[in-house]
C-alpha cells in the first residue's frame, strides 16, 4: 500500500488522504531498504525550506509510537492517521538525522558514528526548532494539530525527546516475543538485499544496527552482558531479533514505570478489544474521542497473527523465556526451543 493508505481509510475519511500522501512523499524520507531514495535530496531541501515558515502552535506536543519494529507500531500509526486532529509520520528518521546528525543507527543517511541511547543533555533548542518546523509543515498538509511520529528506537531516548518537547506523549507497543521475532525474521529475509559488497536489511548497513545494540545496550543487562563476545558473532535473524526484543521490551516496561508521559499497551489487547485500549490511548495523548477513528479501528483490526514455534541459540533461550514471563507472555515460552548447533 502506498503511504499505508487502504480502501477503508479512503472510504471512511477521504479528507485525510491528500495530507498523508504529501507527508509520505516529502517529509518521511526513504531509508536504506526502500526504493526511491533519489527523493531524499528533495526531502532535505523541504526541511530547510520549513525553517523559514512560521511554527504551528501544535508542533511541540507530538505523540511518539515507540517499542520495537514488527510489534504493531505501524498499525497504531495508521489508526492515528485517521484521527481528525492528528497526522501520522511513518519513521521520519531522515528528519531526526537532519536535526541531530549522530543518531542514524541504520545507516540510511550517514555512515558516521551513532548512539542508540540519547540523554537530556544531548538535546538543544536548535534541534527542537528544526523538528518543530518540519512538524509544522506536516500539520499544515494534514489539516491537523498533533503529529504522531512512529520511531520505535526512540524508546531508548525518552529523556532526550522530553528535553526537546516537554509536552510529548509516548505510546509503547508490547507484543509477544515469539510473534515479533518471527515477523522480524521474515521481513529481513524478504526485504534484505545485497548492494555491491554491502548487505542492507533489518540490521542496517552491514549489520550496523546490530553492532550498536551489542556494543551499547547489551552490557546494561546482567544476563546478556556475559554473552557479548558471542553476540558479536551472531548472524541468525532469529537470535538477533530475540535480543532486540528482550532489550526493547524491558526498556518499554521500565520507561512506562518511570515516566508518566509513557504508556505501555499490548498489541494483542488493541486487536482484541480496540475500544477500551483506544480510549486509554486518546486520554493519555489528550486527544478527543472521534467516532470515525473508532469505527475505522474496529473495521480493520483483527486477532493478532500467531506464528510457529521459535528456535533460538541455547545461549539466548533462557533470557528470552525469562522476558516472556516478565512481559506477561509466559504461555509462549512453550513455543520456544533451543536450536541444535551444527558442528
**CA separation for the pair 109, 42 (Å, rounded):** 14
Decide if 327 is inside a domain: no
Closest by CA to 295, choosing from 43, 5, 4, 11, is: 11
pTM: 0.97
Q: Is residue 338, in this structure, part of any structural domain at all?
A: no
User: Would you say residue 154 lies in a domain?
Assistant: yes
What is the structure's pLDDT at 181? 97
265: left (phi over 0), alpha (psi -120 to 50) or beta: beta
Domains contained in the chain, number: 1
| List of long-range contacts for 191-197, beta carbons under 8 Å, 24+ apart | 191/33, 192/33, 193/33
Owning domain of residue 113 = 2-306
DSSP 8-state symbol, 221: S
What is residue 250's predicted lDDT score, i.e. its pLDDT?
A: 98
Tell me the average pLDDT across 83-102. Answer: 98
Asked, for residue 218, whether it belongs to a domain, the answer is: yes
**Residue 155 counted as domain residue:** yes
| pLDDT number for residue 342 | 59
Would you say residue 198 lies in a domain? yes
pLDDT digits (tens, 9 = 90+) for 135-162: 999 999 999 999 999 999 999 999 999 9
CATH code of the domain covering residue 166: 3.40.50
Nearest to 189 by CA among 203, 176, 177: 203
CA distance 231 to 333: 22
Q: What is the pLDDT of residue 343?
A: 45
Mean pLDDT, residues 13-21: 96
Q: How confident is the model at residue 305 (pLDDT cuts 50, 70, 90)?
A: confident
Is residue 88 within 8 Å of 78, Cβ to Cβ?
A: yes
Residue range 208-230, pLDDT digits in tens = 999 999 999 999 999 999 999 99
- For residue 260 the three cell numbers come to 508518566
316 within domain boundaries: no
In a domain, 25, yes or no: yes
Between the CA of residue 26 and those of 21, 39, 45, 175, 181, what are the distances in Å?
8, 8, 9, 31, 31
The number of CA neighbours under 13 Å toward the Cβ of 154 is 31
Residue 92 and residue 149 in contact, taking contact as beta carbons nearer than 8 Å: yes
Give backbone dihedrals phi and psi of 204, rounded to 5 degrees, phi first: 85, -160
Amino acid at each position: 500500500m502506498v503511504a499505508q493508505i487502504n480502501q477503508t481509510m479512503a472510504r471512511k475519511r477521504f479528507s485525510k488522504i491528500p495530507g498523508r500522501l504529501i507527508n509520505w512523499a516529502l517529509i518521511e524520507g526513504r531509508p536504506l531498504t526502500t526504493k526511491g531514495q533519489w527523493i531524499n535530496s528533495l526531502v532535505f531541501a523541504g526541511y530547510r525550506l520549513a525553517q523559514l515558515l512560521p511554527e504551528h502552535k501544535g508542533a511541540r506536543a507530538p505523540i511518539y509510537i515507540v517499542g520495537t519494529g514488527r510489534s504493531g507500531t505501524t498499525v497504531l500509526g495508521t489508526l492515528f492517521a485517521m484521527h481528525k486532529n492528528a497526522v501520522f509520520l511513518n519513521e521520519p528518521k531522515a528528519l531526526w538525522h537532519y536535526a541531530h546528525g549522530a543518531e542514524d543507527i541504520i545507516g540510511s543517511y550517514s555512515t558516521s558514528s551513532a548512539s542508540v541511547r540519547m540523554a537530556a543533555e544531548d538535546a538543544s533548542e536548535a534541534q527542537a526548532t528544526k523538528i518543530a518546523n518540519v512538524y509544522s509543515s506536516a500539520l499544515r498538509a494534514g489539516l491537523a494539530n498533533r503529529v504522531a511520529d512512529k520511531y520505535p528506537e526512540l524508546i531508548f531516548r525518552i529523556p532526550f525527546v522530553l528535553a526537546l518537547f516537554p509536552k510529548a506523549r509516548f505510546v509503547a507497543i508490547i507484543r509477544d516475543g515469539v510473534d515479533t521475532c518471527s515477523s522480524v525474521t521474515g521481513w529481513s529475509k524478504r526485504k534484505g538485499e545485497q548492494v555491491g559488497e554491502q548487505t542492507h536489511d533489518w540490521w542496517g548497513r552491514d549489520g550496523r544496527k546490530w553492532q550498536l545494540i551489542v556494543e551499547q545496550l547489551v552490557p546494561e543487562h546482567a544476563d546478556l552482558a556475559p554473552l557479548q563476545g558471542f553476540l558479536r558473532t551472531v548472524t541468525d535473524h532469529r537470535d538477533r531479533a530475540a535480543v532486540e526484543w528482550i532489550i526493547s521490551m524491558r526498556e518499554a516496561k521500565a520507561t512506562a514505570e518511570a515516566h508518566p508521559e509513557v504508556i505501555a499497551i499490548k498489541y494483542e489487547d488493541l486487536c482484541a478489544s480496540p475500544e477500551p485500549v483506544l480510549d486509554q490511548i486518546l486520554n493519555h495523548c489528550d486527544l478527543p474521542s472521534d467516532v470515525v477513528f473508532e469505527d475505522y479501528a474496529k473495521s480493520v483490526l483483527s486477532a493478532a497473527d500467531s506464528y510457529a514455534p521459535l528456535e533460538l541459540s541455547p545461549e539466548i533461550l533462557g533470557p528470552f523465556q525469562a522476558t516472556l514471563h516478565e512481559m506477561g507472555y509466559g504461555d509462549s515460552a512453550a513455543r520456544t526451543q533451543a536450536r541444535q548447533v551444527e558442528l
